[in-house]
Amino acid sequence: MTHLEASEYDLLLLDFEMPHLSGLEVTTLVREKFSSHELPIIIITGSQNIENRNQVLSGGANDYVNKPIDPVEVALRVKNLLSISESYKLQRRLNDELELRVAQRTAELERFTESLINRLSMAGELRDNETGQHVIRVGQYARVLAEEIGLPSELVYMIEKTAPMHDIGKIGIPDSILHKQGRLTEEEREVMNGHTLYGSQLLGDDPSMLIQMAQSIAASHHEKWDGSGYCKGLSGESIPIEGRITAIADVFDALTMERPYKKPWPLDDAIKYISDEAGTSFDPTLVEVFNKNIDRFLAVKEKYSD
């Protein structure tokens, strides 16, 4: 068999009765490695017994010839089998090449999509004096929560990739409000809260599942479990799960990182704040999951520090 694998045989002609292994036994062994298209087998048999011939064909041989052999008949049968096998091999080579090209294109498209999402996410945050690391951390925290509540891996992936776009709507907020030192007036606060609507409009009505997920997160990441959030005032489980997840991820990062106007909160205070907000701001089940996975959150914080 190693000999067969090492050399390029196009076809095997075997005698039904051979010393050591019979033609049928060799056929059985060959068929474990090579299909009848890859390596056709013709068995030469002296037996006129129909049962023997059927055994040969059902055992994996492509064809048989009777002894005494007619050289012309053998040559014709060999030629037929070789041409079938050749076209099969050609087709397979074409398929392999096509698959490879499709895989390369898909990988390229995925890289492109990911880069574009990352850069677009940063566009919103850079206007808000955030670093690029903030959006990555939010994506990673969101992944931890999505994974730990047992969402399917496809959804986990989508949430991780699109949670970073939560504040993309800040592109539409005037500098005078976005960069205002000190407290916002009630009117300014209203305008600021509009970043959820801008984000949702910017990403709206797209057939791409990823963009739809991004839109849902942009619209719902400031909703609160008790219904006191914005932009729709949704409550409980009517807030999309991706929005509930991103809310915790975003607030945890905002609390624990330094911003131009504030020092980072001590970790215990941040954890306590999120725990206290279970059932008011945040989904209590998610807060529980958050508390059980603080170590995973800390690993993300460590890995993507500013």
CA 157 to chain centre: 6
From the list 250, 281, 287, 289, which residue makes contact with Fe ion (rule: CB under 5 A)?
A: 250
Closest approach, Cβ 109 to Fe ion, in A, equals: 27
Q: Please, which residue, 242 or 250, has the CB nearer to Fe ion?
A: 250
d(CA 119, CA 267): 29
In sequence order, which residues have a C-beta less than 8 Å from that of residue 104 and are 6 or more positions away? none
Long-range contacts, stretch 235-243, CB < 8 angstroms, 24+ apart: 236/283, 237/283, 239/283, 240/216, 241/146, 241/149, 241/151, 242/142, 242/146, 242/158, 242/159, 242/162, 242/163, 242/213, 242/216, 242/217, 243/216, 243/217, 243/219
Name residues whose C-beta falls within 8 Å of residue 291's C-beta, 6 or more positions apart in sequence. Answer: 271, 275
Residue 107 has which token pair?
């990988």
* Minimum distance of Fe ion from residue 253's CB (angstroms): 7
Task: Name the residue nearer to Fe ion (CB basis): 81 or 160.
Answer: 160
Cβ proximity to Fe ion: between 45 and 200 the closer is 200
**In the range 71-130, which residues lie near Fe ion by CB under 5 A?**
none
Of 260-299, binders to Fe ion (CB under 5 A) are none
**Long-range Cβ contacts of 203-210 (<8 Å, 24+ apart):** 203/165, 203/168, 209/158, 210/113, 210/117, 210/158, 210/161, 210/162
CB 142 within 8 Å of CB 249 = yes
242 binds Fe ion (CB under 5 A): no
CA–centroid distance for 260 within its chain:
36
The nearer residue to Fe ion, 56 or 142, going by C-beta atoms, is 142
Would you count residue 223 as binding Fe ion (CB under 5 A)? no
* Single-letter amino acid code for the residue at 251: V
Instruction: Work out how close the CB of 164 gets to Fe ion at its nearest, in angstroms, rounded to a whole number.
Output: 9
DSSP bridge partners of 278 = 282
Using CB under 5 A, count the residues that bind Fe ion.
Answer: 2
Of 17 and 258, the one with the shorter C-beta distance to Fe ion is 258
Region binding Fe ion by CB under 5 A among candidate stretches 68-76, 140-148, 246-254, 275-283: 246-254
The nearer residue to Fe ion, 158 or 247, going by C-beta atoms, is 247
User: Considering the rule CB under 5 A, would residue 167 count as an interface residue with Fe ion?
Assistant: yes
Stretch that binds Fe ion, among 28-36, 56-64, 112-120, 162-170 (CB under 5 A): 162-170
CB of 250 or CB of 277, closer to Fe ion: 250
Q: Which stretch binds Fe ion (CB under 5 A): 67-75, 150-158, 247-255, 258-266?
A: 247-255
Q: Looking at 58-66, 165-173, 233-241, 296-304, which segment touches Fe ion (CB under 5 A)?
A: 165-173
| Binding stretches for Fe ion (CB under 5 A) | 167, 250
